[in-house]
Amino acid sequence: MRLRLLWQLLPSFFLVILLTLFLLTWLFSRSLSDFYLEETASDLEARARLAAVQIAGRFDPLEIAALDPLSVRLGEESGTRFTFILPSGEVLADTLEDPLRMENHAGRPEILPAFSGEVGRATRYSHTVEKTMMFVAVPVLGDDGELVGIVRAAIPVTAIDRALHLVYERIALSGAFVLLLAAAAGVFISRRISRPLEAMRLGAERFARGDLSERLAAGGAEEIGALAAAMNSMARELDERMRTVVLQHSELEAVLSSMVEGVLAVDTEERLLRINRAAAALLGVVPEEVQGRRIQEAIRKADLQRFVARALAARDPVEGEVVLHGPEERYLQAHGTVLRGEDGEEFGALIVLNDITRLRRLENVRRDFVANVSHELKTPVTAIKGFVETLQEGALDNPDDARRFLEIITRQADRLNAIIDDLLALSRIEQGVEKGGLPLAQMPLRPVLEAAIQGCTLIVDEKQIQVNLFCSPELTARINAPLLEQAVVNLLTNAVKYSNPGAKVAIEAARWHDRITVRVQDWGCGIEKEHLPRLFERFYRVDKARSRTQGGTGLGLAIVKHIMQAHGGEVVVHSTPGHGSTFSLHLPLPENR
Name 26's Cβ contacts closer than 8 Å, sequence gap at least 6: none
Residues forming a β-bridge with 463:
none
DSSP code string of 175-207:
HHHHHHHHHHHHHHHHHHHHHHHHHHHHHHHHH
CB 78 within 8 A of CB 40: no
- The bridge status of strand 466-471 relative to strand 504-512 is parallel
SS3 4: coil
| pLDDT given at position 546 | 45
Angstrom distance (rounded) from CA 94 to CA 68: 6
Angstrom distance (rounded) from CA 164 to CA 143: 41
DSSP code string of 514-568:
TEEEEEEEE-SS---GGGGGGTTSTT--SSHHHHHHTT--S-HHHHHHHHHHHTT
Residue-wise over 376-404: b if at least 16 C-beta within 10 A, else e?
beeebeebbeebeebbeeebeeeeeebee
Task: Read off the DSSP letter of residue 137.
Answer: E
How many Cβ atoms from other residues are within 10 Å of residue 322's Cβ? 22
**How many CA within 13 A on the CB side of residue 293?**
13
CB 140 within 8 A of CB 152: no
Angstrom distance (rounded) from CA 581 to CA 583: 7
Angstrom distance (rounded) from CA 273 to CA 78: 104
SS3 350: strand
Angstrom distance (rounded) from CA 289 to CA 283: 13
Q: Is 276 exposed, middle or buried (0-12, 13-18, 19+ CB in 10 A)?
A: buried
Name 446's Cβ contacts closer than 8 Å, sequence gap at least 6: 469, 471, 472, 473, 475, 509
Q: Which of 151, 158, 220, 154 has its CA nearest to residue 191?
A: 220
Angstrom distance (rounded) from CA 426 to CA 571: 16
| pLDDT given at position 522 | 92
Q: Which of 551, 532, 553, 555 has its CA nearest to residue 542?
A: 532
Per-residue pLDDT of the chain (593 residues; tens, 9 = 90+): 555 655 666 677 677 777 887 787 778 777 777 787 888 888 888 888 888 888 877 777 666 677 778 888 888 888 888 888 888 888 888 888 888 888 888 888 888 898 888 889 888 888 777 788 889 999 988 777 788 888 999 888 876 677 777 877 887 788 778 778 877 777 777 777 777 777 777 777 777 777 766 666 666 666 777 777 777 777 778 778 878 887 877 777 777 777 778 888 888 888 888 888 888 888 888 887 888 888 888 888 888 888 888 888 888 888 888 888 877 788 888 898 988 877 778 888 888 888 887 887 777 767 766 666 665 666 677 777 777 777 777 777 777 777 777 877 787 777 677 667 666 766 666 666 555 567 888 899 999 899 889 888 888 888 899 999 999 999 998 888 888 888 888 899 889 988 889 899 999 999 887 889 999 999 988 888 888 887 877 666 665 544 444 545 667 788 888 888 888 889 899 998 888 999 999 988 865 55
| pLDDT given at position 545 | 41
